[in-house]
Amino acid sequence: MRLSPEDMPGYEEARARGRRRRIVSQEQVAALIGYSTHWYARLELGVQDSYSDDFINQVADVLRLDPVETQLLRLLAGKEAPSAIHSATPEGLQPILEGQPWPAYISNEAWDVVGTNEQLRSWFPGILGHEANVMLWAFTHPDARRRLYRWETDWAPKLLGQLRTAQLRYPDNKRLDVVITEILQANEDARRLWEGPIASFHLDGDIRSLHVPGREKPQPIQIVALEPLRSPGHRLIMLVPVPGKP
């Protein structure tokens, strides 16, 4: 839908013959990427096959995909195998959490919270209530919209985008499916956003704002996300106040 038929080869000739198209055809895309229409059509249908890296890269270039969308395309095309599922709490990391001067927590592939520090518990006491799950809290807890500044634009779309890509990475994670289903059943705005073209792999490095206890104005924070090598799939998340920001 991003492409205009006017930019495609042969448009002027087709227009002269009275054959105008409102959307770009599979044949036109296939001609631009240099592969057969049959091969490209299989990709559009979601058929996982032995697509080459060159083919995927050409498709991403022609369809004008950004880096996140290109990575998502690779997942959909079966170019990256899903990570192994790990549900055990990583050992030895609680002292790391407690040693941080800012809020920090550890979550698993389904965003269940498996470890927190005192700073996190003081900022977000409600996050440990509803099944102790970050995503369920963000979309079903009544306090989340107030705490997550600009929830509708800065938080919700990217969080849902993370859920969507996680569902592709961990197709056998039943807990993740339960979390997504509960969110979509409970939150009308989440259902609306879920129907759109959202994709996000992580929030590491993002700067956004929170309403925190003891502060009248929103507190800008940088999200720092790390993955312990001893336990792939778990995330160590730190909410670091941004120096110099009001």
User: What pLDDT does 87 receive?
Assistant: 47
The type of residue at 78 is G
Residues 46 and 136 in one domain: no
Please say if the pLDDT value at position 246 is more than 70: no
Q: Read off the pLDDT of residues 66-112 as tens digits, 9 standing for 90 and up.
A: 888 888 888 888 776 544 444 456 778 889 999 999 999 999 999 99
Q: Are 43 and 77 spatial neighbours (Cβ–Cβ below 8 Å)?
A: yes
User: What pLDDT does 204 receive?
Assistant: 93
Span 199-210, average pLDDT:
92
Residues 15 and 70 in one domain: yes
User: What pLDDT does 14 receive?
Assistant: 47
β strands within 104-189, DSSP E: 104-107, 113-116
Residue 86 lies in a domain: no
Please say if the pLDDT value at position 207 is more than 60: yes
Domain of 174 in residue numbering reads as 94-241
Quote the number of domains for the chain: 2
Cα→Cα distances 57→35, 38, 71, 78, Å: 12, 17, 10, 14
Largest Cα span, the chain:
73
Domain end call among 46, 76, 106: 76
Residue 82 lies in a domain: no
CATH number of residue 204's parent domain: 3.30.450.180
Residues 18 and 53 in one domain: yes
- Order of strands, sheet of 207-210, starting from the edge strand that comes earlier in the sequence: 113-116, 104-107, 235-241, 219-226, 207-210
Span 35-43, average pLDDT:
90
Residues 52 and 120 in one domain: no
Residues 32 and 153 in one domain: no
Stretch among 125-129, 133-137, 172-176, 224-228 having the lowest mean pLDDT: 125-129
Residues 210 and 110 in one domain: yes
